[in-house]
């Protein structure tokens, strides 16, 4: 039985709806580009402005209750859809910043006044009731305007999402971008008058994406897998059978993300090109669905890596080793909590053996990864017909076969 059939599918949605803490205001976009797979969500494809930006421009209608997510994002719980029995919520990336970049703390009128380069606007700033959700032109790492999204990152997210079958790149799950929208001209023109040091020169964008939860592994959320009791309560998971189904999905999706380079690989003229993680990590850049499936969220941090075919195993192994600790640490938290919930605390040796069995079970139907026991080491085998086979130990010196 699938976990999502066991759970009350509305429980987490109701939690999100009752957790809203910010208002977004909808308006038309300057230009849009839609992911063709999500044309059915066209009515959602608008610009969504945080409270300070909306108030500055006197937007008062078409209000949506939302949940702040990281520094410039928000989730709108009432705008949701389903993919393969999983519920996804509309998330807006670039609806205005909540934090003061240089002076620290919440973005407020003083912070906005400090960033203002047009003194004729000071009286308008004074009339603001909040500074949260304000869009500026300060260049964030050269990639985007502060509080919004930049052109290159935005369209990277969209193009990587187009590679997926809805939310999956050959089993590696992502939070797919459904559209990139350019902010209205008057919003952009006003934002260019606010910066501390240097300004972003290109057009300003938002990315509209689908996200199954706001639960991350360790950072960038009030809800993380590092506090498993709270998370399973949040998801309405109450017994060890449900926990085991969650854990199996967590393992299967985690192994898939660790092998993304292989799963996205294209081979041409003796070279292989695949997606690698650049300055992004599983601990803060993934979210976990209520069924345990890990979805990579910050896909702007992916990048194509092309190498000669004989270098494939080197790159894939490097990607695996870069991220596997974060996956294993989270898996250990989940597995330990399941045992605690069952009232049994096995020895570490016994727990390792049971984990080995779960990993084997989780990969039973995976098309690119399977396990084998070699000299009492549990090995993950990554295999695609056009690529060299790669074997990576995941639990060494374990008796389970």
Q: Cα(212)–Cα(52) distance, rounded to whole angstroms?
A: 27
pLDDT for the residue numbered 6: 34
Q: Residue 248: left (phi > 0), alpha (psi -120 to 50), or beta?
A: alpha
> Rounded to 5 degrees, what angle do the CA atoms 154, 155, 157 make?
70
Distance CA 351, CA 75 (A): 37
Q: What was the pLDDT predicted at 5?
A: 35
| Average pLDDT, rounded, for the chain | 94
Angstrom CA distances, 146 to 114, 128, 182, 348, 349, stand at 14, 19, 15, 47, 49
Q: What does the alpha-carbon distance between residue 6 and residue 243 come to, in Å, rounded to a whole number?
A: 11
Average pLDDT by stretches of 10, the chain with 401 residues: 40 93 96 98 98 97 96 97 96 98 95 97 97 98 96 98 98 98 98 98 98 89 85 90 96 98 95 96 94 97 96 97 96 94 89 96 97 94 96 90 49
* φ and ψ at residue 312, rounded to 5 degrees: -55, -50
Identify the bridge partners of residue 145 per DSSP, sorted by sequence position.
Answer: 139
Residue 368's alpha-carbon distances to 20, 52, 262, 391, in angstroms, are 40, 47, 8, 12
Ramachandran assignment for 236, one of left (phi > 0), alpha (psi -120 to 50 degrees), beta (any other)? left
Helix (H, G, I), strand (E, B) or coil at 336: helix
Continuous segment of H or E residues that includes residue 209: strand 205-211
* Maximum C-alpha span of the chain: 75
**Backbone conformation region of residue 372, classed left if phi is above 0, alpha if psi is from -120 to 50, else beta:** beta
**pLDDT value of residue 400:** 54
Of 319, 50, 36, the closest CA to residue 176 belongs to 36
Q: To which H or E segment does residue 203 belong? A: none
- Burial of 401 (C-beta count, 10 Å sphere; 0-12/13-18/19+): exposed
Structure tokens at 54: 């909306």
- How high is the pLDDT of residue 8? 47
Q: What is the pTM of this model?
A: 0.94
Q: Token pair of 70, please?
A: 């990281």
Say what the pLDDT of residue 246 is.
Answer: 97
Given this model, what pLDDT does residue 2 score?
35
Q: What is the 3-state secondary structure (H, E, C) of 44-111?
A: HCCEEECHHHHHHCCCCCCEEEEEEECCCEEEEEEEEEEECCEEEEEEEECCCECECCCCCCECCHHH
């Amino acid at each position: 039985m699938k976990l999502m059939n066991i759970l009350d599918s509305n429980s987490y949605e109701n939690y999100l709806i009752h957790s809203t803490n910010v208002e977004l205001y909808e308006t038309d976009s300057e230009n849009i580009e839609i992911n063709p797979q999500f044309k059915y969500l066209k009515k959602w494809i608008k610009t969504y402005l945080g409270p300070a930006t909306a108030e500055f421009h006197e937007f008062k209608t078409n209000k949506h209750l939302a949940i702040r997510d990281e520094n410039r994002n928000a989730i709108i719980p009432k705008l949701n859809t389903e993919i393969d029995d999983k519920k996804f919520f509309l998330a807006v990336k670039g609806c205005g910043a909540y934090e003061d970049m240089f002076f620290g703390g919440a973005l407020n009128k003083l912070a906005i006044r400090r960033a203002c380069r047009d003194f004729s606007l000071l009286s308008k700033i004074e009339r603001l009731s909040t500074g949260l959700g304000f869009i500026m032109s300060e260049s964030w790492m050269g990639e985007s305007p502060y509080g919004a999204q930049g052109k290159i990152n935005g369209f990277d997210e969209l193009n990587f999402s187009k590679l997926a079958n809805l939310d999956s790149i050959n089993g590696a799950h992502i939070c797919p971008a459904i559209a990139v929208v350019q902010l209205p001209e008057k919003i952009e023109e006003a934002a260019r008058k606010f910066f501390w040091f240097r300004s972003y020169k290109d057009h300003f964008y938002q990315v509209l994406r689908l996200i199954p939860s706001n639960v991350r592994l360790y950072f960038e959320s009030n809800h993380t897998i590092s506090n498993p009791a709270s998370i399973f309560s949040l998801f309405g998971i109450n017994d060890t059978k449900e926990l085991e189904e969650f854990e199996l999905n967590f393992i299967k999706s985690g192994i898939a993300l660790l092998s993304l380079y292989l799963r996205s690989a294209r081979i041409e003229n003796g070279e292989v090109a695949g997606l690698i993680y650049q300055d992004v990590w599983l601990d803060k850049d993934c979210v976990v669905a209520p069924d345990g499936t890990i979805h990579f969220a910050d896909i702007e941090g992916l990048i194509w890596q092309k190498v000669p075919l004989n270098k494939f195993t080197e790159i894939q192994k490097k990607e695996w080793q870069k991220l596997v600790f974060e996956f294993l640490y989270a898996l250990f938290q989940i597995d330990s909590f399941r045992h605690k919930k069952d009232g049994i605390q096995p020895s570490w040796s016994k727990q390792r053996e049971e984990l080995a069995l779960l990993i084997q079970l989780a990969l039973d139907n995976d098309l690119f990864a399977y396990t084998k026991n070699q000299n009492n080491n549990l090995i993950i085998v990554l295999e695609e017909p056009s690529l060299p086979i790669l074997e990576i130990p995941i639990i060494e010196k374990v008796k389970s076969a």
